[in-house]
Amino acid sequence: MLAASAAGLELRRDDGGLALVGDGMVLRADLARLLPRLRPDRLGRELLVRAARVRGVPAPTAVDATAGLGEDALLLAAAGFTVTLFEKDPVIAALLRDALERAAGEPQLAGIVSRMELVEGDSVAGLHALGLRDHAPDVVFLDPMFPERTKSAAVKKKFQLLHHLERPCEDEARLLDAARAARPRKIVVKRPPKGPWLAGAKPSHSLAGKAVRYDVLVPPPSSR
C-alpha cells in the first residue's frame, strides 16, 4: 500500500475490520451503518434511488464509476440493482472490499451485497469496455469527489483523509464521455446543491435536497 505509506497513513486491521489511520483520524468503511436508510419505508424516498429508477426493467443494472466507500452503491443494490463498482485507488478499494466481506456475513445485508461486484481499476477504461458489450448497463452513476459538498465537520474530516489518496476529478469531460460510451439508459451525477453541471453538460432533469443534487442525463435512444 505505497500510496497510503507515502501520505503518512497506515492500513490497520482490528476486530472491527480494516481501517485507514493517520492525521489523528480513523477511516473505516462500514455499510451496516446505512441499515436505517435501507428500510422499505425510507429507501424509496432516497433521492439517488428516485434518480436512478428505470421503469419497466425487472432486473436493472448499474455501474458506480466512482465507488469510494460503497455507500451509494449499497443504496442502489438495496433498490434491486445489480451494481458494478469501480475504484481505482488500491487503498480505498481494500477498505471497500473489507466492508463488503463483512457485510456479506450480516443477515440483513448479505442479499444486498451479493448484487455488488467490486472492480479495482480505472472506470474510464472500464466504461469504454462495457460499451462494446451487447448488454449495456441501465444506469451509470458518477460522484466526482467534491469537498465543498457538505458543511458537516465529521464528513469533512473523512474526506480530508480520503483526499490524501484520491483527489477530486480533474478531467470531468473524460469521465462523462466514458459514461456515455457505456451506452446506459441514463447517467446520474451527484453534485453539491448549487454546484455546476458536470463538464458543463445540462441534465435532462435534477432532483435536489438540502445537501446534494442528482443530475440525470438521458442519452438519445439511438446511442444504446
Into how many domains does the chain fold? 1
pLDDT at 149 over 70: no
User: Whole-angstrom Cα distance, residue 141 to residue 64?
Assistant: 5
In a domain, 75, yes or no: yes
Sheet holding 82-87, edge to edge: 116-120, 82-87, 61-64, 139-142, 186-191, 213-217, 205-208
Burial environment of residue 83 by CB neighbours within 10 A (0 to 12, 13 to 18, 19 or more): buried
User: Whole-angstrom Cα distance, residue 102 to residue 17?
Assistant: 8
Domain that holds residue 198: 31-223
pLDDT at 222 over 70: no
The whole-number pLDDT of residue 26 equals 83
**pLDDT bracket for residue 6 (50, 70, 90):** very low
- Dig out the grid coordinates for 91 from the structure: 487503498
Q: What is the pLDDT of residues 157-172, one digit of tens each?
A: 556 666 666 655 668 9
In a domain, 4, yes or no: no
Task: Fill in the amino acid letter for 199.
Answer: A
The whole-number pLDDT of residue 154 equals 47
The whole-number pLDDT of residue 167 equals 57
Task: Fill in the amino acid letter for 165.
Answer: L
In a domain, 3, yes or no: no
Q: What is the pLDDT of residues 42-69, one digit of tens each?
A: 999 999 999 999 999 999 999 999 999 9
In a domain, 162, yes or no: yes
- Dig out the grid coordinates for 47 from the structure: 433521492
Its pTM stands at 0.88
In a domain, 12, yes or no: no
Q: Helix, strand or coil for residue 20?
A: strand
In a domain, 175, yes or no: yes
CATH code: domain of residue 209:
3.40.50.150
In a domain, 69, yes or no: yes
In a domain, 13, yes or no: no
User: Whole-angstrom Cα distance, residue 10 to residue 59?
Assistant: 39
